[in-house]
Chain A
Amino acid sequence: MILDLAFIWAGLIAFAVLAYVILDGFDLGVGILFPFLRSTADKDLAMNTVAPVWDGNETWLVLGGGGLFAVFPLAYAVVMPALYVPIIVMLLALVFRGVAFEFRWRTQRGKFLWDISFAFGSIMAAFAQGIALGALVQGIAVEGRAYAGGNWDWLTPFSILTGVALVAGYALMGASWLVMKTDGPLRAAARRMAVWTGAVTIALVGLVSLITPFLNPLYLDRWFGFPNVLFSVFVPAAILAAMLVFIKGLRDNRDAWPFLATVALFVLSFIGLGISFYPYMVPPSLTIWDVAAPDESLWFLLAGALVLVPMILAYTGYAYWVFRGKVDPAGGYH
């Protein structure tokens, strides 16, 4: 089949989720690192590096969820109740975090409360997303057209591990973002944080990658069956290359390199996940074709997406271009 709509849409949704993970990843990461920033001035500056763009970044989450609802409604209907607790925690955490962007500038006395709200919200949102991912990788019990498990099926050592790994990964992205966007003492602090969050992230990603193939015979075959194993070597090799760029960038003061290398790390991990998953949308039972909406729905939205997604990328790029370069400590509109 040349024009398989479900396949095209799976690609587009995957792209939206990846865009979300990268874009909101670094601004969540800035929130995760907030408790480690010493002065109020550093906190203000760190927040102003993401303030003009965080809202657009988070919109990719709505596209990921909304897109799932639109084109894979059965997957949405199964996954959301299965991940009820982590999803609700994530939503509440995002509320805490999102309001902090404006609220902390509106008060002097209460500012520390919104700093806590921002940091706590960012950490919990990242942790909940990582748990949701881990739970999905492990598999979800389905009967008929509905979730067939309990409220706490998502809670396992593996999902906790993926939760912690994602917090570390986002923190790494936030640190390398700050290296790229700031100067002076904040950049120096961010460089130190990039080093240790980088080390922790690589260790955790390695651990998750080692466990994943053994969760499901399908994954094992996908990674270690012949001839796949020949290609499997590519992913860890590429991750190693990204880490070398990361270290060299930090050492040589090429401030955009560590961030780009971290983005590459996330893209590679995401591709790795895709290799494990495909063609399942809800492992171990529902494939992308099982959950796809009728072709009429897929066509209708695809027609718009083909026009609108390039436009979105263009003006999102413009917005980033407007705020390019190191952030001026005297900037901001507050």
Chain B
Amino acid sequence: MLGLDAIELARIQFAFTVSFHIIFPAFSIGLASYLAVLNGLHLWTGKDIYLRLFNYWKTIFAVAFGMGVVSGIVMSYQFGTNWSVFSDKAGPVIGPLMGYEVLSAFFLEAGFLGVMLFGREKVGARAHFFATLMVAIGTLGSAFWILSVNSWMQTPQGHGINEVGQFIPLDWWAIVFNPSFPYRLVHMVLAAYLTTALVVGAVGGLHLLRDRMDQGARVMFAMAMGMLIVVAPLQILAGDFHGLNTLEHQPAKIAAMEGHFESHPEGGAPLILFGLPNAATETVDYAVQIPYLSSLILTHDLTSPLPGLADFPVDERPPVAIVFWSFRIMVALGFAMLGLGIWALVARMRGNLYDRKWLHRAAIVMGPSGFVAVLAGWITTEVGRQPWTVYGLLSTNDSVAPVEAAAVASSLVAFILVYFMLFGAGTYYILRLMNKRLADRIPLTSIGPIRTAGITPAPAVDDKFIPVE
């Protein structure tokens, strides 16, 4: 296909399937926790609205989760079909970690999902809350093990290598809690929570624009914006720590992210805001830069040395332009999320959170930004890790399966067609579910638990009124 060889095709296939897959966990990790919170709030306060919100988001979760499961099964087998040499060599180390994911997390989610979706009448409110909690814990457990695997591939330690070239586990504690793991895990879980908060906020904003007396929309919007203002700053902090960690363990990746071709042995590296990295001439064309700032951000010190790509052999440098740009997209979206959170906080303090149409519109626009940021972040870290599968030890070229290019090409085409067709339909159904009203209004006589400042009396008879189900 297009003159590509088996390894390039395998890389494209992996990138495509994993990018598609990550969308769903990024959403379902956060949504599972949100469902557990809603279910718990209902149990605790007895308020009807939380159960109605739970049922609303439960259906959306079920559709997204189904797509996550099937695309995840594809991932679990792709290691063998396309990257069999990698599987043979790294299997003894990462295989058991993935085994633990299945045993401790995957079964938990899947086992309690049925009870969560179908079983409330059969098991009662408390057991139903427990099932929801188990699904949420399962999604987090999945994140724990998968990020442990990914982090070990980025910053491997605790292993030896045997006579047939396999990685041999020596110290499991060191393998699981490898140097980049805590940062990566926190960054990803926060990203999932942000992604969900942005989606919930967008749906709340949409329904507020249609009817700002919609109680469900108010609860959604208030909860989502509250989550945003707490998590967005934490995420920026976590990202900064993660960056320091990457500088320590994967300096070539940081150099590519920053667009630093030349090294700065005495510090003082400028922050290149924008520009066009040019790997051929080893310069960033049309660069807009702020002096000293890169050194300050990355080392928290103006004079610490900063390596550049020039310090690495050409064949050990990641593709600069992709990493440079994906990193900027992620950071820019992160700050936009913080901005939205601040805006909503100000509106809340002024008591007009539900009246600010432009805020609601902004929340809708920002709805998908979590997904884009997650994708950009993964592209940054995965492309930035090239040309290695196990950083510094096993190259991507040496990991690929002995499968003919024609087979990989046809399966790639099949995956692209099927994924766009089926997941396109799924996205359409999810959007349609989100478009559906929660169908109740705040009664004018008794104002609900939500902040109510700024409410103007609506006409007594309103043709938009939809009775409570």
Contacts and interface: CB of A to CB of B under 8 A. Distances in A.
A66 B95 contact: yes
Interface stretch (A184-192, A193-201, A213-221, A311-319): A311-319
B275 interface: no
Interface string A301-312: 100110011001
Prevailing SS type, chain A contact patch: helix
Given A58-B73, A71-B99, A293-B92, A76 B87 contact: yes
B280 interface: no
Nearest to B117: A333
A69 B90 CA distance: 10
Contacts, number: 245
Contact of B429 (A65, A77, A94, A103): A103
A150 B101 CA distance: 33
B123 interface: yes
B411 interface: yes
A77 B84 contact: yes
A224 to B, nearest CB: 34
B439 interface: no
B92 A80 contact: no
A76 B95 CA distance: 10
A270 interface: no
A223 to B, nearest CB: 30
B162 interface: yes
A148 B401 CA distance: 11
B92 A55 contact: no
Secondary structure of the B side of the interface? helix
Contact of B118 (A52, A102, A117, A145): A52
A84 interface: yes
Contacts of B402: 81, 146-148
B81 A84 contact: yes
Interface size class of B (residues with CB under 8 A): 35 or more
A56 B107 CA distance: 6
B284 interface: no
Interface string B411-442: 10011001100110110010011000000000
Nearest to A309: B103
Given A55-B113, A81-B81, A297-B95, A92 B418 contact: yes
B372 interface: no
A88 interface: yes
Given A80-B81, A323-B122, A98 B70 contact: yes
Contacts of A300: 96, 169, 172
A87 interface: yes
Interface of A: 51-53, 55-56, 58-59, 61-63, 65-67, 69-71, 73-74, 76-81, 84-85, 87-88, 91-92, 94-96, 98-99, 101-103, 106-107, 110, 117, 145-148, 150-151, 293-294, 296-297, 300-301, 304-305, 308-309, 312, 315-316, 318-319, 322-323, 331-333
6 contacts: A71-B99, A81-B401, A92-B415, A99-B67, A297-B95, A316-B107
